[in-house]
Amino acid sequence: MTIDKKKVVYQLYPKSFKDTTGNGVGDLRGIIEKLPYLAELGIDMIWLNPFYPSPQRDNGYDVSDYTAINPDFGTMEDFEKMVARGQELGIGFMLDMVLNHCSTEHEWFKKALLGDAYYQDFFILRDEPTDWVSKFGGNAWAPFGDTGKYYLHLFDKTQADLNWRNPNVREELYKVVNFWREKGVKGFRFDVINLIGKDEVLEDCPINDGKPAYTDKPINHDYLHMLNQASFGQDDSLMTVGEMSATTVDNCILYTNPDRQELDMTFNFHHLKVDYERGQKWTQKAFDFEELRTLFHTWGEGMDQGGGWNALFWTCHDQPRALSRFVDVKNFRNEGATMLAASIHLSRGTPYIYQGEEIGMLDPDFDSLSDYVDIESLNAFDIMTESGKTEQEALAIIKRKSRDNARTPMQWDASENAGFTTGTPWLKVGKSYADINVASEKNGPIFNFYQELIRLRKEEDIISEGSYKAAFTDSKQVYAFEREWQGQHLLVLNNFYAKPIKLDLPKEYQNGQVLISNYDNVTLDDTIQLEAYQTLAILISDPVTT
């Protein structure tokens, strides 16, 4: 596989992007309507979260039919029109493939429940549950009808894990990928794909909620290679990314090194756990900058040395918005948003923009638990209050950590419901919409900066191709790295704090060219001062050696 490293991906959450029917749910026609906006931003590819038929227990990650469109989102004809319109604008679509599990409303599961042995072997059934913990709370096994058996669900109990050891399951899933390939899609994002290869014999595993029994197993690599060969690997132009749960650099090198023919790149989440207390999500803590910096360096250098490729991102539909999380947004929203953007767009890997990041959207600032819809958040609230937290304490944590933070409707303008829908939105609009919306932000500093970053990646091979090396590794507030490509060097400095900081600039960069910064009039000298949330990238074409 040869991946086009100049491409930038935009993650679009269809349910919350643009509603054209007034049912409160975004739809494919809404996406078609807004494609010119995304073309103006300059992105190449859109990753769409699931829009397949689904009971929506987990917002579409509980798929009940892999090859159809949920009527709330539109029709197959709409889908085809969307792909065609994208093609005209130079935008491809990357679909979300949820192949680790399916909904218990899927006909496979229903037939299995009715006693069909062929379909029972599509799932992971046991006489006794193991002690594994579901990622959404509680035990990971649920009674399989009244058979006396239990089925595995690593996520919600309506999301039954599929048995990849069964070749018939694999064949069915290859067909799904090929179905969408034939519809002209240009890429695939594979949901929690490092969990598909469970141990052959499933046993209690008290370590880390049972994760070692089913995460990054060697057989997982075999399954991905087989999937590759039977589907997307047959077309070099397709782009693939795997979402990797609790993974390692070594495994991600194996998943993405082109020689192995597995995937093009991987998402990992380690850098988004730096504000977890004792590794636990449902806690509150200021982010640990040094941990963040070290993680970026470990992944940047490790993947580079091993010939792997990272997907670079700050926010997705499962994370609160990075801007609300890492930046003093009251005082420095523009500076913080642009610095965060540069810190990944200038790094080694493929950058992803999550919808609304390009206009500096914030977490919604909901007031009450009833504003939340996400099943993980609601479960977490129950678990927290049952284990002794007051409702107020639990709500304060939900407010910071809930996945709904990123899922609120796209803010298009200052009209009611932010111009997202004429009906009642399925999830409330964020409080900031009257000030922060596309109408007011387009051609503003954040949007323009994103355009510039996308353009630079296309123009400068050092950004798309260059190596990655850690720089200023002892700084307490600057995340810095150096790229190198064919005699050129690029130094990228990112101040993660509102406090300005002075740095001694290495001699060779003092006569360099400022490739991009979110502050004007930068003068390079032996000492420079980075202002609040300043990002600064300095290019030298012919390094002076002393």
Active-site residues: which are they?
191, 243
Q: Which residues contact 532 (CB under 8 A, 6 or more apart)?
A: 328, 331, 332, 335, 495, 497, 498, 499, 500
Least Cα distance to 320 among 417, 206, 402, 239 occurs for 402
Token pair 């009039």 in the structure block, residue: 521
- The 3-class SS string of 113-147 reads HCCCHHHHCCECEECCCCCCECCCCCECEEECCCC
Give me the least distance between CB of 93 and ligand GLC, in Å please.
17
Residue 52 has what DSSP assignment?
Answer: S
Give me the least distance between CB of 192 and ligand GLC, in Å please.
5
Q: How many CB atoms lie within 10 A of CB 298?
A: 14
| Residue of minimal Cβ distance to ligand GLC | 61
Nearer to ligand GLC, 97 or 361 (CB): 97
Give me the least distance between CB of 99 and ligand GLC, in Å please.
10
Please answer whether residues 141 and 149 qualify as being in contact, where contact means their C-beta atoms are separated by less than 8 angstroms: no
Nearer to ligand GLC, 81 or 211 (CB): 211
Q: Does 404 bind ligand GLC (CB under 6 A)?
A: no
Give me the least distance between CB of 454 and ligand GLC, in Å please.
24
Stretch 318-337 residues interacting with ligand GLC (CB under 6 A)? 318
Nearer to ligand GLC, 98 or 530 (CB): 98
Cα 200 to the center of its chain, rounded Å? 30
Nearer to ligand GLC, 19 or 58 (CB): 58
Q: How many residues bind ligand GLC (CB under 6 A)?
A: 9
Give me the least distance between CB of 410 and ligand GLC, in Å please.
18
Give me the least distance between CB of 422 and ligand GLC, in Å please.
27
Determine if residue 217 is left, alpha or beta; phi over 0 gives left, psi from -120 to 50 gives alpha, anything else beta. beta
Please answer whether residues 518 and 449 qualify as being in contact, where contact means their C-beta atoms are separated by less than 8 angstroms: yes
* Residue of 155, 433, 479, 509 that binds ligand GLC (CB under 6 A): 155
Q: How far apart are CA 13 and CA 408, in angstroms?
A: 9
Stretch 418-477 residues interacting with ligand GLC (CB under 6 A)? none
Please answer whether residues 432 and 337 qualify as being in contact, where contact means their C-beta atoms are separated by less than 8 angstroms: no
Q: Does 95 bind ligand GLC (CB under 6 A)?
A: no
Q: Does 191 bind ligand GLC (CB under 6 A)?
A: yes
Nearer to ligand GLC, 100 or 518 (CB): 100
The three-class DSSP label of residue 28 is helix
Nearer to ligand GLC, 83 or 162 (CB): 162
Give me the least distance between CB of 432 and ligand GLC, in Å please.
24
HSE-CB of 267 using CA atoms within 13 angstroms: 24
Per-residue burial over 157-167, b = 16 or more CB atoms within 10 Å of its CB, e = otherwise: bbbbbbbbeee
* Residue of 13, 47, 52, 61 that binds ligand GLC (CB under 6 A): 61
Q: Does 102 bind ligand GLC (CB under 6 A)?
A: no
Q: How far apart are CA 103 and CA 254, in angstroms?
A: 30
**Tokens describing residue 291:** 């941990």
Site string for ligand GLC, 221-250 (x = CB under 6 A): ----------------------x-------
Residue 164 has what DSSP assignment?
Answer: T
Nearer to ligand GLC, 158 or 343 (CB): 158
Residue 440 backbone phi and psi in degrees, to 5: -90, -25
Least Cα distance to 295 among 321, 325, 323, 275 occurs for 275
Q: Does 192 bind ligand GLC (CB under 6 A)?
A: yes
The three-class DSSP label of residue 214 is coil
Give me the least distance between CB of 41 and ligand GLC, in Å please.
23
Helix (H) or strand (E) holding 400: helix 391-401
Nearer to ligand GLC, 169 or 532 (CB): 169
* Residue of 27, 58, 275, 357 that binds ligand GLC (CB under 6 A): 58
Q: How far apart are CA 74 and CA 53, in angstroms?
A: 11
Interface ranges with ligand GLC (CB under 6 A)? 58, 61, 98, 155, 191-192, 243, 317-318
